[in-house]
Structure 1
Amino acid sequence: MARVVCVHGIGQQHTGERELHRSWHPALADGLIRAGAAATLGADDVRCVFYGDLFRPPGRTLALGDPPLDASDVEEGLESELLLQWWAEAARTDPAVLPPDARTLARTPQAVQRALNALSRSRFFAGVALRSMVLDLKQVRGYLCDPALRDAVQQRVADAVTGRTRVVVGHSLGSVVAYEALCAHPEWPVRSLLTAGSPLGIRNLVFDRLRAGAAGSGSPGDWPGAVEHWTNLADEGDVVALVKDLRPLFGERVVCQVVHNGARAHDATRYLNTAEAGRAVDAGARW
């Protein structure tokens, strides 16, 4: 019967609910301390929704010469366009990354390979294998473009929210999941939404594909259900959070704040242990 429900983002297919809880719960509790909040969070007050296993294929026997994922596996459309946008944003914030030129932005196979090569040298993707970058792109496309997968993820959020839930936290792709869940369930008693490292503001690729309202009856940009307070956190160097200010798309009620996460700009716990996150949780957690 958690009061705070958390929704993870991309690249978590090899973790699980309990692993996420072990890092997210203390980070949220520290954020409350940084904010000087009176509210406290016990372990049972926080529940982490896990859906990463839905992206993890079943085991199989490798065929002879079965290759790992590479640039040729990046599909045209959402995957390649998002990759090129990540590259442009990484170049904007990281002097070590050469920016794409007009010729590169033609979205050719060579452009995809150059984008992957450039991102592999960036601070943001330091230590991230090419295979993992391609898988991250496929997870975003999978959620946004596969209705059955989307429904399965949404059901896991619905199963976690109860009559005692007052705060929903969404990180990365999880912010998209959380937003859609709250739009679909205005009857939930959730007061506060905290999004961090969110891609919600990316027009065409993400924003325009949002499913708002019950059975998609609403429009992208609708206010998320009965939420009273929405705080969005972004690090200036977070490539996934391409658009830091969500207000032009979702309205002036969204409190948009830039935080500083150091070398791990997209790290969930570095977002959650900030005073800004603590104030957002406290706004809804006055139970």
Structure 2
Amino acid sequence: MARVVVVHGIAKQYLGPRSMQATLAPALVDGVLLSGSAPLSTEDVGVAFYGDWFRTPGHKGTPMPATADVDDPVERELLFRWWEAAAKDEPHRVPAPTLTGTKAPTPITVQRALDALSRSRFFAGVGDRFLVGVLKQVRRYLAEPETRAFVLKRLEAAITEDTRVLVGHSLGSVIAYEALCAHPDWPIRAFVTLGSPLGIRNIVFDRLTPAPVGGRGTRPGRECRWTNISDRHDVVALVKELDPLFGDVVDLPVDNGWQAHELARHLTATETGSAIAAGLAG
């Protein structure tokens, strides 16, 4: 049974649990090894896979998401928050947003945001339709009860009495957080979040279950050590420090090179390996 369970992030709908485990388990094992900790087997690593929920059934003539489809307030606000972060991180490459006032973004300004993001190193090579699809996956998890229920059920099925470490990447960190809050009885000793958007107010933080109280989020697990790791160039992890919002969180920076958000690079980092090893050692 898996001693470490990884919850993946967005845009994995064309993969599967075995294919993801085959890629992520060696990277995680490498991170533990490079941290100087006791060796870990790939068989000790499991993946809570839910990507298939977002795979659109094949229908003749079904259109891909387009710019005009970004019509939900959550999707648009998240898009513009990414634009602001990318412009701040790379002012020489990405033009700053010029949207002012309270008027909602139009398809034209949405396209401007997508065009601006395409100039950043972070979103290099990412097409508009793919990015629109990503926005919709985030919104669907946060807004659709049936989506949330399906995804959380997949994670619950992956946890066993042997699981000691829960790792969540990107949207997976939100999923892992909510599941851990709902199951204080789980034998989790270490919670590791990678490239997490948990701290984004209005879009993610204020939509969590359980809901924050007085501007503070629930701290999951009494005996659980929470380590939050992010690259300073990661646009998805807009809020790099979660300790002020949740309390008792160890926030650590990591250098993932030009792929700041990529999961495998997070997993091979010694910072991640040390946090996982500490959970396994108790």
Structure-2-length-normalised TM-score: 0.94
Match of 1:72 among 68, 75, 86: 68
* Structure 1 CA distance for aligned equivalents of residues 223 and 272 of structure 2: 16
Alignment-derived partner of residue 224 in structure 1? 220
Relative to structure 1, the CA distance from residue 93 to residue 106 in structure 2 (aligned partners, 3 Å threshold; closer, same or farther) is farther
Query: Which whole-Å deviations, capped at 9, do the CAs of 1:195-225 have from their partners, x for residues lacking one?
Result: 001000001110010012xxx7x85611112
* Greater shift in the superposed pair: 24-33 or 148-157: 24-33
Q: Which residue of 2 aligns with 1:272?
A: 267
Q: Is residue 187–residue 226 contact of structure 1 (8 Å, CA) maintained in 2?
A: no
- Establish whether residue 283 from structure 1 lines up as the match of residue 281 from structure 2: no
Aligned ranges for residues 1-287 of structure 1 at < 5 Å? 1-38=1-38, 40-62=39-61, 67-94=63-90, 95-103=92-100, 106-109=103-106, 110-212=108-210, 221-251=217-247, 253-286=248-281
Rounded Cα–Cα distance in structure 2 between residues aligned with 1:46 and 1:174: 16
Deviations 1:139-192 (A, max 9, x none): 000000001110110001100101110000000000000000000000000000
Amino acid at match of 1:96: R
Closer, same or farther in 2 for the Cα pair 1:235/1:106, shift >3 Å?
farther
Distance in 1 between residues matched to 2:220 and 2:19, nearest whole Å: 28
Letter aligned with residue 60 of structure 1? H
Partner SS state of residue 195, structure 1: strand
Change (3 A) 1:86 1:129: same
Residue 240 of structure 1 aligns to a residue whose secondary structure is: coil
Output the amino acid matched with 2:249: V
Could you list the runs of 5+ residues in structure 2 that have no partner in the other structure?
A: none
> Is the CA contact (8 Å cut-off) linking 1:96 and 1:122 kept in structure 2?
yes
Alpha-carbon distance between aligned partners in 1 of 2:254 and 2:263, rounded to the nearest angstrom:
12
| Pairwise CA distance, 1:70 | 1.9
Instruction: Answer whether contact 1:5 1:168 (CA < 8 A) is retained.
Output: yes
Give the partner amino acid of 1:41.
L
Cα 1:226–1:91 shift into 2, 3 Å: same
Question: Are the equivalent residues in 2 in contact too, given 1:191–1:226 (CA < 8 A)?
Answer: no
1:193–1:227 contact (8 Å) kept in structure 2: no
Q: In 1, Cα distance between the equivalents of 2:136 and 2:192? A: 25
Shift, 1:16, TM fit: 1.1
User: How many corresponding residue pairs?
Assistant: 278
Change (3 A) 1:74 1:227: farther
Does the residue aligned with 2:237 lie in a helix, a strand or coil? coil
Task: Look up the SS of the partner of 1:285 in the other structure.
Answer: helix
Identity %: 52
Give the match's secondary structure for 1:204: coil
Which one is further off, 6-15 or 98-107? 98-107
**How far is 1:15 from its partner?**
1.0
Please give the alpha-carbon distance, in whole angstroms, between the structure 1 residues aligned to 2:116 and 2:218.
Answer: 36
RMSD of Structure 2 on Structure 1 (CA): 1.6
Q: Contact 1:105–1:111 at 8 Å: present in 2 too?
A: no
* Counterpart AA for 1:154: L
Deviation of residue 278 (structure 1)? 0.7
Cα deviation, residue 102, structure 1:
4.4
Pairwise CA distance, 1:236: 0.8
- The one-character-per-residue Cα deviations of 1:60-105 (angstroms, maximum 9, x if unpaired) are 111xxx6532211102310000000000001111230011124388
